[in-house]
Structure 1
């Protein structure tokens, strides 16, 4: 069971507010609330896709490796949104792994129940379509990043995408990030990332302190995500 405060918290989120009260209450009756420490794995790539997750506090990193293990797709999940949406109504297994990069509190709910009620609700399906469109726009930006021949530009555009997706009002990433993470997201080497970060720090565009990334000049990055 969840608390009254949690009930109203969930109800006001876009991922639930278009459902009827009856549909929402049916889902809530099956929702589980959990807390976990940093490095906890929510699910592994290839696991049976039977749960949706919602992060209330903290952050989660998602990763997907190719067959050889030489390429790793990395992304981050923002708070207050249900995930994963990729494969909704279609896939039987998760496409990637999800690991907490901070201590987290989260909800998990049955995939089939959410899909059932979403399909019966036009407004909820409109919301899902809008959400897919926004996700597609972000991934188009990332694809544009990956086809850029300049490794330096790929690193800069990766930092710009992080600014778009998860940065806080204070202008910093709310979780630690390593040069390896940025290299995986930029399809380049750790050495290249270190060199680019050094240049950006010297130009006072960013700061990097104990794996905490601060954006001193947001306008510099915003031109790469418009």
Structure 2
């Protein structure tokens, strides 16, 4: 039953759809599977055993640390996304960790070395992985461009639109987001102070654009974002 669960988790991911039944069954032998709860840290970039992770359920945040120990949210990881040692290069120095945001997450993981060997045997998988990582890097570069070229209000609107696209529950023009981010999290993501993020969220509430509380954010008319 456990191997069957791993099989369907992998089969459902677009990255592995080029693999045959037998190949995915082989993949189940090398993949690890775990669950973690809100607040748990499940990945450090300085691990002695590099791994690649695939998030099957829930959400988490990637937090980077500078030389002074200051933390910045680098990315929000959601269902279907990958994180960890994606570059497949061990000499790249980064200092980051992953922390669970939702009540529970389900994660598949591979040793980096096992995943490299898998791609060597399956060229189509290697091509798909290269595209997957390329798109992820492009999104991160776009986020950086937004940070340096747009004001805080526009950055918040852009972030909400991206969040809606990934995680929104639609009902006509209304969209509901399960809110697993604190105002400080949102401030870090859009690179502003917590006070500014709070002021902007209150402005959106007062203008009738959103309804906001600790459990959910409701965009009353997404066309107005």
Using the size of structure 2 for normalisation, the TM-score is: 0.83
Q: Which has the higher strand share?
A: 2
Distance (whole Å) between structure 2 residues aligned to residue 5 and residue 70 of structure 1: 39
Equivalent residues of 1:177, 1:213 under 8 A apart: no
Equivalent residues of 1:54, 1:81 under 8 A apart: yes
CA-to-aligned-CA distance 1:61-84 (integer Å, 9 cap, x gap): 111121123451332111134333
Distance (whole Å) between structure 2 residues aligned to residue 70 and residue 200 of structure 1: 29
Equivalent residues of 2:52, 2:86 under 8 A apart: no
Q: In the alignment, which residue of structure 2 is the partner of 1:78?
A: 78
Q: How does 1:135-154 map to 2 (within 5 A)?
A: 135-148=136-149, 150-154=151-155
Q: How does 1:120-139 map to 2 (within 5 A)?
A: 120-139=121-140
Q: How does 1:13-24 map to 2 (within 5 A)?
A: 13-24=13-24
CA-to-aligned-CA distance 1:94-128 (integer Å, 9 cap, x gap): 65211111212222222211121113322112211
Shift of 1:197: 0.6
* Secondary structure of the corresponding residue to residue 144 of structure 1: helix
2:48 is aligned with 1:48: yes
Alignment partner of 1:220 out of 198, 216, 224: 224
Q: C-alpha root-mean-square deviation of aligned residues, in Å? A: 2.5
**Structure 2: segments with no counterpart, 5+ residues:** none
Equivalent residues of 2:205, 2:212 under 8 A apart: yes
Distance (whole Å) between structure 1 residues aligned to residue 119 and residue 189 of structure 2: 32
Shift of 1:169: 4.0
Shift of 1:191: 0.8
Distance (whole Å) between structure 2 residues aligned to residue 40 and residue 154 of structure 1: 28
Shift of 1:183: 0.9
Distance (whole Å) between structure 2 residues aligned to residue 141 and residue 217 of structure 1: 25
Residues paired across the two proteins, number: 220
Distance (whole Å) between structure 1 residues aligned to residue 167 and residue 156 of structure 2: 16
Distance (whole Å) between structure 1 residues aligned to residue 75 and residue 24 of structure 2: 29
Q: In the alignment, which residue of structure 2 is the partner of 1:186?
A: 190
Equivalent residues of 2:42, 2:97 under 8 A apart: yes
Distance (whole Å) between structure 2 residues aligned to residue 199 and residue 38 of structure 1: 29
Tell which deviates more after alignment, 16-25 or 110-119. 16-25
CA-to-aligned-CA distance 1:151-181 (integer Å, 9 cap, x gap): 3222222323323344344633334211111
CA distance 1:94–1:67, change in 2 (3 Å): closer
Q: In the alignment, which residue of structure 2 is the partner of 1:167?
A: 168
CA distance 1:81–1:142, change in 2 (3 Å): closer
Using the size of structure 1 for normalisation, the TM-score is: 0.83
Distance (whole Å) between structure 2 residues aligned to residue 21 and residue 149 of structure 1: 47
